[in-house]
Amino acid sequence: MKITIIGTGYVGLVTGACLAELGNDVFCLDLDQRKIAMLNSGGIPIHEPGLAEIVSRNRAAGRLHFSTDIAASVAHGQIQFIAVGTPPDEDGSADLQYVLAAAANIGKYMTGFKVIVDKSTVPVGTADKVSAAIQAELDARNLSGAPIQFSVVSNPEFLKEGAAVEDFMRPDRIVIGCDDSPAGQQAHTLMKQLYLPFNRNHERTYWMDVRSAEFTKYAANAMLATRISFMNELANLADKVGADIEAVRHGIGSDPRIGYSFLYAGCGYGGSCFPKDVQALERTARDYGQELLILRAVEQVNNHQKHVLGQKITERFGPDLQGKHFALWGLAFKPNTDDMREASSRVLLRELIDRGATVAVHDPVAMAEAQRVLELDFADDRGALQRIRFCDNQADALQDADALVIVTEWKTFRSPDFDQVKARLKAPIVFDGRNLYEPQVMRDIGFEYYGIGRSVLVRE
Ligand code: UDX
């Protein structure tokens, strides 16, 4: 099938590449000329396992094209995916200007029936706005003859960064919202054909009305964020009462009604989705006169949780960290990505630097992105950046540090050579923001160890 993807960001690029891999003829549009030039010369703007191979294979096969030509992109696909960014406005609502601009361009150039798919995460009711934007352009063209038909469907993405290709190729569900007008039924037929390869063994598509599909995406992320914040709050209490949140996690996760996933306490969630989507859903509720009390707390707990490592460090070393030097492992908001958006490491670094410490940092893939982002974070204080040393490997970062602090649970941090860690650190102290290690084991091998919610009374 002929598909157009508008926006070659994270979601658009993965969607386009994977649909091409299934044999479709995919045209990816982006207005950022540098990004398109990079993709056309074999580069990939993001770090995502497996993506580079798929892009290169399908470009070579002539099934995947990258361009800045809007008219050509509208002409190409019978199905037009809108996968542009929806950054949060100052008030937390999703900024729809790029989505609506994409819709207007479709209306400006389309000459026959199109299915427009909202792939970006957009508030409930956006499909109606997209329809209106397309129709307004069609009306402005004063076309003679039968009106050009189109249908806007909602097909939210559920891609996890670092596992996006796998999530796309082996989805646990595909959510599609269509209306039941004749154009909506035509859209249903085309979308069914497009996703057929995923539904051969068993049906994975959940068909619903458009608003429910839009809502489903927010409900899913809000539920996951709630689980994390709830566990973080319990972990903070576990620290006070002397219980082990990891034991508690097993104890409750074994109940199938609760399940094990997304119950990991840590130093807060980040990324491009949870923080933004939680805020946007709260905002939608407010627009309809309702306060989402639980989500407000989810957000507050998460903001607090990003400070928990800093708190533990100041409880141990005192509030003035002048002359103290820390090793920090993990900068990205989670493993297998170089994404620094809303990363807990940024909050911690701000705190350590503001209190006068120096920090040696290492991340397996996010070093360049971290440098870029931290330059912006500390733009108000040039001297601050000089107190952050970027290290090529995790061992170097440890040298003469007063403690090791872990913020991201990269696999390579899970079983380090602890003798080497101890030898390089000035003192054997570990603040583990992702509960990678067993407190008792760490104490047995001579570390002073601080996890999240793991202050169970220990045998000496
Ligand atoms: C999320 C959703 O999982 C995905 O379905 C949606 O499409 C986009 O948003 P992503 O942001 O890529 O994906 O990351 P995810 O793996 O969900 O992790 C988000 C954050 O939560 C990370 O900072 C992670 O460290 C944190 N997290 C996750 C926890 O603190 N505890 C957990 O138990 C799980």
> Best mutation site among 224, 342, 406 for ligand 1, i.e. most ligand atoms within 8 A of its Cβ?
224
Q: Please state, in angstroms and rounded to a whole number, the distance separating the CA atoms of residues 341 and 333.
A: 7
DSSP 3-state of 346: helix
| Global pTM value | 0.92
Q: Please state, in angstroms and rounded to a whole number, the distance separating the CA atoms of residues 46 and 48.
A: 6
| Position 170, amino acid | R
Ligand 1 within 6 A of CB of 332: no
Structural tokens at position 53:
């191979």
Q: Minimal CA–CA distance to 111: which of 149, 80, 79? A: 149
ipTM value for the complex:
0.93
Name residue 448's beta-bridge partners. 429
What pLDDT was estimated at residue 88?
Answer: 78
Burial class (CB within 10 angstroms; exposed 0-12, middle 13-18, buried 19+) of 136: middle
Residue with the smallest CA separation from ligand 1 atom 22 is 269
Atom of ligand 1 nearest to the CA of 232: 30
CA–centroid distance, 194 to ligand 1, in Å, is 28
> Best mutation site among 155, 232, 236, 334 for ligand 1, i.e. most ligand atoms within 8 A of its Cβ?
334
CATH class of the 2-208 domain in this structure: alpha beta
How many CA atoms lie less than 13 Å away from 22 in the CB half-sphere?
20
What pLDDT was estimated at residue 396?
Answer: 97
> Best mutation site among 160, 175, 276 for ligand 1, i.e. most ligand atoms within 8 A of its Cβ?
160
How far lies 369's CA from each of 321, 374, 412, in Å? 26, 8, 19
Structural domain spans, the chain: 2-208, 225-450
Which of 28, 178, 267, 273 is labelled catalytic? Answer: 273
Cβ atoms 94, 214 nearer than 8 A: no
DSSP 3-state of 434: coil
Ligand 1 within 6 A of CB of 274: yes
Distance spanning both ends of the chain, measured CA to CA = 66
DSSP 424: H
**The three-state (H, E, C) secondary structure of 78-98, written as one string:** CEEEECCCCCECCCCCECCHH
What pLDDT was estimated at residue 87?
Answer: 84
CA–centroid distance, 338 to ligand 1, in Å, is 14
What pLDDT was estimated at residue 161?
Answer: 86
132 membership: H or E segment, kind and range = helix 126-140
Residue with the smallest CA separation from ligand 1 atom 7 is 158
4 membership: H or E segment, kind and range = strand 2-6
- Diameter of the chain measured on Cα atoms: 86
Q: Minimal CA–CA distance to 302: which of 333, 332, 272, 269? A: 269
Contacts of 34 (CB under 8 A, 6+ apart): none
Q: In what order do the strands lie in the sheet with 114-118?
A: 64-67, 25-29, 2-6, 79-82, 114-118, 150-154, 174-177, 205-208
What pLDDT was estimated at residue 457?
Answer: 62
CATH class of the 225-450 domain in this structure: alpha beta
Ligand 1 within 6 A of CB of 159: yes
Residue with the smallest CA separation from ligand 1 atom 20 is 269
pLDDT-flagged residues of the chain (< 50): none
Q: Do 2-208 and 225-450 come out as alike in CATH topology? A: yes
